Amino acid sequence: MSRSAPQTPAWWFGDAPVPWWARLLAPLYAAAVALRRRLYRAGLLRQRKVDAPVVVVGNLAAGGAGKTPLTLALVGQLVQAGWRPGVASRGYGRRDAGTPRWVTADTTPEEGGDEPVLIARRLAVPVRVDRDRAAAARALVEAGCDVVVCDDGLQHYRLARDIEIEVVDGTRRYGNGRLLPAGPRREPVERGRYCDFRVVNLGQDGGQGGTGFGEWPMRLHARAAVPMAGGRTRALESFRDVRVHAVAGIGNPQRFFDPLRGLGIGVVPHVFADHHAYTAADLQFGNDLPVLMTEKDAVKCAAFADARCFMVPVDAELPAAFRVALLERLGRRG
């Protein structure tokens, strides 16, 4: 079931034929991307540096890959290592996108964007949203941060960066391999060679393709269901053999549905567009079955969630060697 059509075209990650108009536009998009990169390399478009190392987390394929769970994990590791990180984000989908602002646990998703609010509620670190990520990074440094983590922004070249981390969906990878709009690729395949790390999101089931040479595995773990109207947290396994409404407005909804099914939960799927602006009516399904939703969706449904509604937080697990490699690279460049 879907109340709002997904944003991902069927031909990106499936066998559907690519429409003629998309094949026609893809070379124009490729030319624009190449020109922009050449202008930055030639110095005709200037990058802005800040007085702290910048780590950019992003993806080269549209449609969601797991950037936010990785950002949460990275920031947590930096705090444990003694750094004072801050998170810079565009704040996609917020109401007044042109106004920079600080995001706290009390900020609404309409004001700060769903992902920045999620990060602010999870972590006690400064979060700044600004259409100009270079300005956001500068504000974080002025506020006392000694490292900036940019949630998304591989293509935001205006902000100079010290470390780039590409996140890849381990199941869907780059889809049909074509550039937008014929395929999901935001940049040509060779762009990935310039990234310092490639992290492959294997989800909770280990993924289908695994990792290749030079790739780091990331696994996601969801173990609990948190009642949004208050009450005791439940183990996800307690919903085994129970039919539930599963709500996902993320880039790849199957990443949420499949692990629930793997636990023996009877999933009635409800797919919404990524960054969907929920209303109370969206959660009215005609019965009182439990409603399980992603953490990203839950921050936008908190105001009208009732006793049926549960949030399912996800934590990212990375190899210990990745943490060592990241901190060593950061220490050398910082």
Instruction: Say how far apart CA 7 and CA 334 lie, in whole Å.
Output: 38
H helices of the chain, in order, are 10-13, 20-41, 67-80, 109-112, 114-122, 133-142, 254-262, 295-301, 320-333
**Percent share of the chain, pLDDT over 70:** 95
Q: 175 and 84, same structural domain?
A: yes
> Is 51 within the bounds of a domain?
yes
Q: 325 and 261, same structural domain?
A: no
Q: 193 and 59, same structural domain?
A: yes
* Single-letter amino acid, residue 278: Y
> Is 6 within the bounds of a domain?
no
Q: 329 and 265, same structural domain?
A: no
* Per-residue model confidence as pLDDT tens digits over 308-323: 999 999 899 999 999 9
Number of H helices, E strands in the chain: 9, 15
Q: 328 and 182, same structural domain?
A: yes
Q: Provide the domain limits for residue 165.
A: 46-219+317-333
pLDDT of residue 138 exceeding 90, the answer is: yes
Instruction: Say how far apart CA 324 and CA 322 lie, in whole Å.
Output: 5
Task: Show the tokens assigned to 221.
Answer: 């773990």
Q: What are phi and psi of 112, to 5 degrees?
A: -110, -10
Q: 268 and 140, same structural domain?
A: no
pLDDT reported for residue 2: 47
Kindly report the CATH number assigned to the domain that includes residue 110.
3.40.50
Number of domains composing the chain: 2
Q: 236 and 198, same structural domain?
A: no
**Percent share of the chain, pLDDT over 90:** 48
- Verdict on whether the full-model pTM lies above 0.85: yes
* Per-residue model confidence as pLDDT tens digits over 190-240: 888 889 999 998 877 555 567 777 889 999 888 899 999 888 899 999 999
Q: 326 and 303, same structural domain?
A: no
Q: 172 and 53, same structural domain?
A: yes
Q: 328 and 295, same structural domain?
A: no
* Per-residue model confidence as pLDDT tens digits over 6-45: 567 888 888 889 999 999 999 999 999 999 989 998 888 8
Q: 76 and 110, same structural domain?
A: yes
